[in-house]
Structure 1
Amino acid sequence: MTTQWLDLDTVPALPGLFMRAVLRRGITGKKLPDLGLRTQISIDPENLTAYRKVCGVVESSLLPPAYPHVLAFPLQLKLLTDKHFPFPLLGLVHLENSIQVLRPLAGLGPFSISVHVENLQPHDKGAVFSVITRLEDQLGLLWQGDSRILCRGVKLEGSPEAPLELPDVQLTERAHWHAPSDIGRRYARVAGDYNPIHLSALSAKLFGFPQAIAHGLWNKGRVLAELREQLPDSGYQVDVRFKKPLLLPGDVVLKSSADAASGQFTLTGTNDMPHLQGTWQPLDSSVQSPN
């Protein structure tokens, strides 16, 4: 599928897109659109500072490795609420997330940021697809993200792929922290993602949750803040699987393998409830080469 790119003059405004997401109901097809969106963007230093604070990231000359997802959120929302996108946004489930940091994430821009969807596959609970996000500068690709999203109720031909099992390795506790009841609202103010399941117990109950749940990308951003000493400035990939929701408020423990070029980590809560499982590893030279 060849992506048909639409270049936007500015970053999309969120209020109208939220309304479009609320009003959209029902599955309208089984084919992803070939539409891609891209625009120029510069980073707001105040927003970056707020992100570092809410995710526990220390001050640095480099951008936090999960921060480009925040920059891309308006584009992602516009694409996923486009009339040609076949699935309603409300109810989609973020299953997995992978980021590749090809070169050091330095400076405040301007950057080019783009999003498109691809790789629709059957899943035992419906269908999954990828939202691909790319951040580029004048030299080419800096960072790439792949968010694997589940839409329940879609029937596709074929058999679901079995998830890859991670090898057993020894993990030791690296950090623990408390996720307060308002962390969903605090992260939303930074990321712009006002999904009601993250905002309050009352709004989360409308979607079947007993309490508000922490945003998966907040969990990942907080984990990467703790793993900063194990990750290089660039040339690496971090993959996570989102497991059970983290109900707010809640306490979590981060465990990881020994310091090395590759490794594993887990984020667990009460009674060893798994919330997140992941790996880090170096990129090979072909992936790191500029476009």
Structure 2
Amino acid sequence: MTDQWHELSTTAALPGLYLRAARKRKISGTTLPTTGLRCSLEVNAERLAAYRTLCHFGDDPLLPATWPHVMAFPLQLQLLTANDFPFPLPGLVHLSNSIHVIRPLGGVTRLHFAVRVDNLQAHEKGATFDLITEARDGLGLLWSETSRMLCRGVKLPGEPACEPEAEALPLSELTRWYADSNIGRRYARLCGDYNPIHLSAISARLFGFPKAIAHGMWSKAMALAALRGHLPTGGYAIEVNFHKPVRLPSEVVLDASPVAPTGQLRLSGHGGLVHIQGTWRALEAR
């Protein structure tokens, strides 16, 4: 539970954060920090336009639902490389991502972000925790995100939690796209996520991957862009579980259920290999 906040006037520079991450290789404890980070950030119009192109969002007066994630990434990285964070950043696995768009993301030029970690739980391969990010404007909470992260090798008491599976809906192909061999480098240059597993086959092999793999949040952004006709402008949640990584280069297929307040999606590759499964739903009115 976060009970303290560290207010920042700006986020730390990414090169220094990556250097700090590279120096920490061992698990230093099993207690999450109770201090979160807060910072106000401006929307960079040039980067936003490039992001729209990279993720196929096109022109729209609303921010892409995944764009606040990109804005908050340096703040998230700063939290996960702090001295009181017990797990090394290299090797963390992104298991799932849930985004809530509370209100339409229109007319936004500045957002106040809050980032914290919570919900440490035992997992069959180690331990999981939630990286929670919230964005507010002058009217209050506008957007929120929860990323479930896995740290292998952590020993916690208790049994791993079992999550119920949603009843499958009929899906049909919505679109498909080709993830080329340099999409990881292009996404990294734009969004700042320079995890070596995304950059080249050579750097990916150092972490046990035979090829570079696409960023999970790029794949989710591409799916959200394709689902624009299925989703309202605000008041919805879209949650995905990341399964098998998208190896680069490869073609992927996005299947989705029909337009409805509640629906499902699946991103799959060659031979029916499932990369992402997810759901969307309308949020209850406040």
Matched residue type, 1:212: A
Indicate yes or no: 2:107 matched with 1:111: no
Contact 2:2 2:36 survives alignment (8 Å):
no
Aligned to 2:276: 276
* SS of aligned partner of 1:258: coil
Aligned to 1:91: 91
Instruction: List runs of 5+ in structure 1 lacking aligned partners.
Output: none
**Distance in 1 of aligned mates of 2:137 and 2:12:** 20
Q: What does 1:114-193 align with in structure 2 at a 5 Å threshold?
A: 114-193=114-193
Aligned to 1:41: 41
Contact 1:109 1:137 survives alignment (8 Å):
no
**Distance in 2 of aligned mates of 1:219 and 1:240:** 10
Q: What does 1:213-232 align with in structure 2 at a 5 Å threshold?
A: 213-232=213-232
Aligned to 1:50: 50
Matched residue type, 1:62: L
Contact 2:2 2:117 survives alignment (8 Å):
no
Q: CA shift at 1:25, angstroms?
A: 1.2
1:45-101 deviations in whole A, cap 9, x for unaligned? Answer: 010011111111121000000111100110010000000000000000000000000
Matched residue type, 2:93: V
Aligned to 1:66: 66
Contact 1:187 1:218 survives alignment (8 Å):
yes
Q: Number of aligned pairs? A: 286
TM-score (norm 1): 0.97
Aligned to 2:246: 246
Q: RMSD value over aligned CA atoms? A: 0.8
Matched residue type, 2:239: D
**Distance in 1 of aligned mates of 2:114 and 2:42:** 13
Aligned to 1:5: 5
Contact 1:95 1:148 survives alignment (8 Å):
yes
Contact 1:96 1:149 survives alignment (8 Å):
yes
**Distance in 1 of aligned mates of 2:240 and 2:63:** 19
1:148-191 deviations in whole A, cap 9, x for unaligned? Answer: 00000011111111122121211000000100000000111111
Contact 2:2 2:118 survives alignment (8 Å):
no
**Distance in 2 of aligned mates of 1:164 and 1:90:** 29
CA gap of 1:110–1:168, structure 2 versus 1, over 3 A, is closer
* SS of aligned partner of 1:186: helix
Matched residue type, 1:179: A
**Distance in 2 of aligned mates of 1:256 and 1:111:** 31
Q: Runs of 4 or more off by more than 4 Å in structure 1?
A: none
Q: CA shift at 1:12, angstroms?
A: 1.9
Matched residue type, 2:44: D
1:213-247 deviations in whole A, cap 9, x for unaligned? Answer: 00000000000000000000100000000000100
Contact 1:72 1:113 survives alignment (8 Å):
yes
Q: CA shift at 1:42, angstroms?
A: 0.8
* SS of aligned partner of 1:197: helix
Matched residue type, 2:58: V
**Distance in 2 of aligned mates of 1:181 and 1:240:** 24
Aligned to 1:14: 14
Q: CA shift at 1:259, angstroms?
A: 0.8
**Distance in 1 of aligned mates of 2:238 and 2:27:** 32
TM-score (norm 2): 0.99
Contact 2:62 2:106 survives alignment (8 Å):
yes
Q: CA shift at 1:3, angstroms?
A: 2.6
**Distance in 2 of aligned mates of 1:108 and 1:13:** 24
Matched residue type, 1:69: H
Matched residue type, 1:214: A
Pick which of 10-19 and 240-249 moved more: 10-19
* SS of aligned partner of 2:15: helix
